[in-house]
Chain A
Amino acid sequence: MGNTDTTLKSFEDIILAMDSAIKEFWKTYEGMMVSVGRVFGNEAIKRCLSEDIDGLLKELEDITPMKFKRENNKIIVEKCVVRELIEKGVIDKNNTLCPFLKGFISKVFESIGMKAVCENCEVIVK
């Protein structure tokens, strides 16, 4: 497959193409992608055993390319592959992947009886 940079670029091209395909397929992709994320969250919580926030965050780190840091009721997304792709200019801010991850996270937190609101790479849990 060549060197790492070329490989990385090819995967970023595929992600960009997927983002663009979803936008073309669903004109109202934002709401749609939140639902797609929630469906995946529903599948993921079947395999999650944790009943508290810290345990759940650890399990989330295992099943998604993200890293979290908890500050009481606020969870800061320390590492997120989607944010990296935005910062690198691969995809734009108005992408389909952020609503997907928002839907996913909110559904996962519902499994431990909490409500999660995701905004600006932060999750507020109630």
Chain B
Amino acid sequence: MASKDPNRGSLPFQVLLGSWSLLGLFLLLAPALVVIPMSFSAGDSIGFPPQGFSLRWYSKLFSDPLWLEALRTSVILALASSTIALIVGSLAAYSLVRGSYVGRRVIQASFMGPMIIPPVVIAVAAYLVYAKIGLLGRMEGLILAHSTLALPFIVMIMGNAVNSFDVTIEQAAKSLGANKLTVLRRVVAPALTPHLLVSWLFAFAVSFDEVVMTFFIAGRYTTIPKKMFITLRNEIDPTVTAVSTLLIAVTLVIGVVAVFALQRRLLTVVGAENPS
């Protein structure tokens, strides 16, 4: 069947391309998953295949006050920075889409900056400024830094959402006497709730995963990624496999929630189109 399609090339070529590609996919995927079986090992080293089955690395993880403290910091930091980024980023996205003022395109491009500029450059720049104004090792500084890094994702997702939202609905609300803030609060925000949720999850994930900026400016604060980074550079500690597996599980949950949120949006769109 492959040989009938003239675009597909000869059979040996097909086999070669197919096996090359399957090897490539395997090499991409395997490193992301190899730590999962390792985390349940009963052995002392990180040999593969894992020796026996146990939860010893998980119990070690949850009885270590340093890891628990890192988890606490990570969660507080991610909650605070993602919420701030969501509020200021969504307003900015709305303004960039619906507004008209000089320099709109330049401002829009600069909101993408934190995603494009190498993290280590932003981290050094922030470090030098924070050092001068006493923000190094302060929670406020960390929250500001993490909010900034999440902004591009929020502005991008919410910009697309506002762009695809029918502007005549807003105009209808305005013509019925609602002011600008009421329109945002009572019309736009409820309609775009799934996008807001997805943006917020994205921002949470960005912060929860961030290591470079945190490593430079966090001072005495330790987050989960920072502790992993420092541990990985200094020793081989199988506890990290348990942390890694839990991180994969958390990401999976976030992904599933995001998919459901977007599906609900599809249902809402279908319902809205129904002229009943």
- Chains A and B form a bound pair: no
